[in-house]
Homo-oligomer: A and B are copies of this chain.
Amino acid sequence: MYISELIKRKRDGSELSKDEINYMVNGFVKGHIPDYQMAALLMAIYFRGMSATECIDLTMAMVDSGDKVDLSGIEGSKVDKHSTGGVGDKTTLVLAPLVAASGGIVAKMTGRELGHTGGTVDKLESIPGMQVELPKEKFVEVVNHIHVSIAAQTALLVPADKHMYALRNRTATVDSIPLIASSIMSKKLAAGSDGIVLDVKTGVGAFMQKYEDALELAATMVDIGEGAGKRVVALITSMEQPLGYAIGNAIEVKEAIDTLRGDGPQDLVDLVKELGSDMLLISGVVSSRNQAIDIIGRNIETKKGLEKLGELIEAQGGNREVIENPGLLPQPKINIEVKSKSSGFVEKIDARDVGLASKILGAGRKTKDQPIDPSIGIYLMKKVGDKVEEGESLATFYSDGNKDKIEPAKERFLNAYSIGRKRVKPPRLFYARVNRNGVEDLK
């Protein structure tokens, strides 16, 4: 097999065979196929796309490039969840323990911050003592024991993705739906769950800004997962304004704890119930969505979800007392009120700008290996639809006091807010549900 022939075939719009895709992935990982040929091939894929069969073959070839997590020793249907990334998206911190408390088995592998969005691994690491970099044996053991674990993806899981992503990042071939879908799904499949619920974000704060792209990505991932014999459901949800009020690391853990105690922001609670009901449904724990939503609601009221989070923190080496006393989480040096320069109603909050403001303030990394200051973040006081007076706080910045960060962060943050005369409704949160039966429109 000649790789240049293979590039030519893809360039000319032909479908690559399973053997050809295996050759491409293995050859690249093993170094037989040089970067420059892989780069040309990836760009040809960018332009020509991939068929459903090619996407499945690519995903499976990537899965086979590394370690797999074997959850088969755990009885019952294991379920995973993935979000394509949003600002203030602490959903997993609420959802995973809540679904486990409701009878599901949640084996969740997750990543660090990417672009303008935070990462669940970074958020969890703000809990004193909490270990997220688990060996896969430990991960399996925790799931087995308490029916929930959240662990960082290891580099040994899908090394092909790691190599390909690094190359894509330098060759403008990241924004390709087949490549994104196979990258996400290869990691989900290697992580060993039986069911996968995907939260595909769309809007100004999401990687897929256009609904049509989010829908195509969702459908591609469902096809890949179902093609691999898994149960997969994708929700397409809004990421116009940030989710909830907290953006950062410790600050988001605190909001997750509040939510599990029954004091959560409405959008986050709604999202947790919708995603959670899908997780319970595909796990076979419940037989109807209403039943699922009832159980989840009850487990918030009774604080069983919060207790499960405590168990999870303890099982992974953290201080479980934070669930009763969030003051144990890292606290910022100073709080700064960011005040509105005009009166009116909040018409729009650009989630992307808020995410970037939070990074500028210090809640992100400057370089890949830098540690994060977990105490830094932004707490919103106003969301879309809220009335605001001139001089009233739009948000509180949790800061380390460094003015070189505060001023530009403030500028970026204020830029995110559109304040007008007319009261607007909060934006729609749910767009659609995609599963093997097709697309269901959600109101």
Are B36 and A171 in contact (CB-based, < 8 A)? Answer: yes
Can you offer 22 A-B residue contacts whose CB atoms are under 8 A?
A4-B171, A4-B172, A5-B172, A7-B172, A8-B172, A11-B46, A35-B36, A36-B36, A36-B38, A36-B39, A36-B167, A37-B39, A37-B170, A37-B171, A39-B39, A39-B40, A39-B43, A40-B43, A40-B172, A43-B43, A43-B47, A44-B172
CA A47 to CA B12, docked complex, whole Å: 10
With a 10 A CB-CB cut-off, give which of A8, A38, A170 has the most chain B CB atoms: A170
Contact status A11-B172, CB under 8 Å = yes
A259 interfacial contact with B, CB 8 Å: no
User: Can you add 7 more A-B contacts, CB < 8 Å, to A11-B46, A40-B40?
Assistant: A8-B172, A35-B39, A39-B43, A39-B171, A40-B171, A43-B43, A43-B44
Residues of B within 8 Å of A171, CB to CB, are 4, 7, 36-37, 39-40
Q: What is A's interface to B at a CB cutoff of 8 Å? A: 4-5, 7-8, 11, 34-40, 42-44, 46-47, 167, 169-173
Q: How far is the CA of A38 from the CA of B34 in the complex (A)?
A: 13
Interface centre among A47, A172, A173 (most CB of B within 10 A): A172
A31 to chain B, nearest CB (A): 13
Copies in the complex: 2
Cβ contact within 8 Å between B40 and A173: yes
CA A172 – CA B46 in complex, angstroms?
Answer: 15
The docked-state distance in angstroms from the alpha carbon of A170 to that of B36 is: 9
Instruction: List the B side residues contacting A38 at CB < 8 Å.
Output: 36
Considering the chains assembled together, what is the distance between the CA atoms of A34 and B167 in angstroms? 11
A348 CB to nearest chain B CB (Å)? 26
Q: Which residues on the B side are within 8 Å of A8 (C-beta)?
A: 172
A353, B306: Cα distance in complex, Å: 77
Counting chain B CB atoms within 10 Å of each CB, which of A11, A39, A40, A47 scores highest? A40
Question: Chain B: which residue is nearest A45 at the CB level?
Answer: B43
- Residue numbers in B under 8 Å from A46 (CB-CB): 11
Q: What residues of B have a CB within 8 angstroms of the CB of A42 in the complex?
A: 40
Q: Tell me, rounded to whole Å, the shortest Cβ–Cβ distance linking A279 to chain B.
A: 37
- A49 CB → nearest B CB, Å: 12
**Distance in Å: Cβ of A222 to nearest Cβ of chain B:** 27
Task: Report, nearest first, the 4 A-B pairs whose CB atoms are least far apart.
Answer: A40-B171, A43-B43, A35-B36, A8-B172
The minimal Cβ–Cβ distance linking A16 to chain B, given in whole angstroms, is: 13
Q: CA separation between A34 and B47, bound complex, in Å?
A: 22
Closest residue of chain B to A167 (Cβ to Cβ) is: B36
A5 nearest in chain B by CB position? B172
Determine whether the beta carbon of B172 is less than 8 Å from that of A43: no
Q: How far is the CA of A8 from the CA of B172 in the complex (A)?
A: 5
Find the B residue at minimum CB distance from A10.
Answer: B172
- A36, A38, A46, A169 pick with most chain B CB within 10 angstroms: A36
Smallest CB–CB gap between A210 and chain B, Å? Answer: 14
Residues of B within 8 A of A169 (CB): 4
Using Cβ atoms and an 8 Å threshold, which residues of chain B touch A172? 4-5, 7-8, 11, 40, 44
**Could you say which residues of chain B place their CB within 8 Å of the CB of A43?**
11, 39-40, 43-44, 47
Give the distance in Å from the alpha carbon of A170 to the alpha carbon of B8 in the complex. 10
Residue of B nearest to A3 (CB): B170
